[in-house]
Amino acid sequence: MSVPTVLVLPLPAQGHVNPMIVFSQRLVQNGCNIIFVNTEFIHNKVVSSMGNQQGCDTGRSLIKLVSIPDGLGPDADRNNFGVLFGSMLNNMPAMLEKLIEDLRLKDGVTVSCIVADFLMAWAFEIARNIGIKGVMFFPASASLLALNCSIPRLIDDGIIDSNGLPITQKTFQLSPSFPPMDIQSIWWAKTVDSKSANETYKAVVLCVQTLELTEWWLCNSTPEIEPGAFSFLPKLLPIGPLLRGVTEEKCLGQLREEDLSCISWLDQQPHASVIFVAFGSTTLFDEKQFKELALGLELTNRPFLWVVRQDSNSDSNNNLPLPNEFKGNQGKIVKWAPQQKVLSHPAIACFVSHCGWNSTIEGLSNGVPFLCWPYFIDQFFSKTLLCDVLKVGLGFDADENGLISRGEIKAKVDKVLSDENIRSKAHVLKEKLLNNMKVGGRSSENLNKFIKWLKE
């Protein structure tokens, strides 16, 4: 069997880079070489967050980090997905092809397979053109992929129009074995403006069409969490939960520097006492809601660890002031946490989360009860999974002005922490999930099968 060189291509976003780095680490452990291709914008962040980090090991890595430009200027709004996608589509394919050619001619490295993120599906055309393997990696929920693949049916059933915009206000079901989806799950319609929504919709349609060029579909999930989605998409292979290991380059792939001081702070807190509050890499708060959250945490009278991002980039300015009344004595605020380490810390009691898919998988794999505060994309559906199907969490109810009040925050924290049922369900599910990755476990076997195919 040969040593395959796999080119891994994530969408340029934190929640996509992280699981694809962990996936790459698994391949390296199984004798593959990895060329990990980020856009220049992301690559620079990954490299600079590693460089400043104590305890971050970059020397042993067999993952070669390389980059190509996304075609946008340094100050462009990369949160506008339609614009970013269009620019990547216009600029990156030729550069990726050149990169593969240069690797062969200058470094003597022959790429044998491209594993690309669903939303980087244009890369499968390159794989086909140069006669190498193409594999799709889906970093979000299997249910979201099922939704993306169901666009023609959603149009036929009158859920969306031919431009992808929701027609009904009702919830809908992709199949009888699926939990109901909120109309907010039609994620491409939820972007900054209608032009961007249309561009995003077209991008999704294009990506789904290009999937016919791929031989495998891999997903960071398991059938224990999403049985309906995996029976809906029999081609989709579960390989989750993809978690960083203790001996691995812990921060490889982080776009921001981790503040490790929160771990020593957690060491000083009582067992199962701390509320961990983190909303991923893109969620934005308005000032009123931010204030209510701060005062709600204070009102719980419990220790809390709260991630408040402070992005210097003006497009995603999240530098809101803490309210004057906020004392913060029983809490710690950091700009970016080593989230997986935090979630596995015995001091953590519950996770106030936006339910991004990685956060969902990481919280479930650590048996931590959830308080769900979804923001967009599949986060509303993840909330349904966590609260209504798996029953390992609770949601917040907004008041008549759409605000989640400090009283509601305190009430739900108290409720989730006193619910034995939720805690024991979370614990049982954690064991089931982790079994997937043990020798002989389903995801572990699926990965082995995939790696064997890579080496053929």
Give the one residue of 331, 356, 367, 395 binding ligand UDP; rule: CB under 6 A: 356
Tell me how far, at minimum, the Cβ of 148 lies from ligand UDP, in Å.
16
CB nearer to ligand UDP: give 88 or 144.
144
Which one, 266 or 278, has the nearer CB to ligand UDP? Answer: 278
Q: Which of residues 156-175 bind ligand UDP (CB under 6 A)?
A: none
Of the residues 4, 164, 241, 280, which one makes contact with ligand UDP according to CB under 6 A: 280
Q: Which stretch binds ligand UDP (CB under 6 A): 92-100, 207-215, 332-340, 390-398?
A: 332-340
Q: Does 143 bind ligand UDP (CB under 6 A)?
A: no
Q: What angle do CA 245, 250, 256 make, to 5 degrees?
A: 145
Q: What is the dihedral of CA 372, 374, 379, 385, to 10 degrees?
A: 30
In contact, 122 and 89? CB cutoff 8 Å: yes
- Token code pair at residue 93: 């394919």
Nearer to ligand UDP, 122 or 351 (CB): 351
Q: Smallest gap, in angstroms, from Cβ of residue 383 to ligand UDP? A: 13
Of the candidates 356, 298, 358, the one whose C-alpha atom is nearest the C-alpha of residue 328 is: 298
141 binds ligand UDP (CB under 6 A): no
When the beta carbons of 33 and 200 are compared against ligand UDP, the nearer one is 200
Which tokens belong to 331?
């809490």
> Which span sits near ligand UDP by CB under 6 A: 94-102, 265-273, 358-366, 448-456?
358-366
- Within 10 A of 162 (CB to CB), how many other CB atoms are there? 8
- The number of residues that bind ligand UDP (CB under 6 A) is 18
For residue 324, which amino acid is it?
Answer: N
Q: How far is the CB of 28 from ligand UDP (least distance, A)?
A: 19
Provide the minimum distance between the beta carbon of 200 and ligand UDP in the complex, in angstroms, as a whole number: 16
Instruction: Give me 247's structure tokens.
Output: 């001996």
Question: Among the candidate windows 87-95, 147-155, 336-344, 423-431, which touches ligand UDP by CB under 6 A?
Answer: 336-344
Nearest to 350 by CA among 395, 310, 286: 395
Asked if residue 241 has a cis previous peptide bond (ω within 30° of 0), the answer is: yes
- Supply the minimum distance, in Å, between the C-beta of residue 193 and ligand UDP: 20
Query: Which residue type is seen at 346?
Result: P
Indicate whether 220 belongs to the interface with ligand UDP (CB under 6 A): no
Rg of the chain (C-alpha set): 21
Is 289 a binder of ligand UDP (CB under 6 A)? no
Cα-to-chain-centroid distance, residue 147: 17
Provide the 3-class DSSP secondary structure of residue 71. Answer: coil
Phi, psi of 36 (to 5 degrees): -100, 110
Q: Which three-class secondary structure state does DSSP give residue 328? A: coil
**Residue indicated by tokens 């080496």:** 455
Residue of 87, 191, 222, 340 that binds ligand UDP (CB under 6 A): 340
191 binds ligand UDP (CB under 6 A): no
Applying CB under 6 A, the residues found at the interface with ligand UDP are: 14-15, 18, 254, 278, 280-282, 307, 336-337, 339-340, 356-359, 362
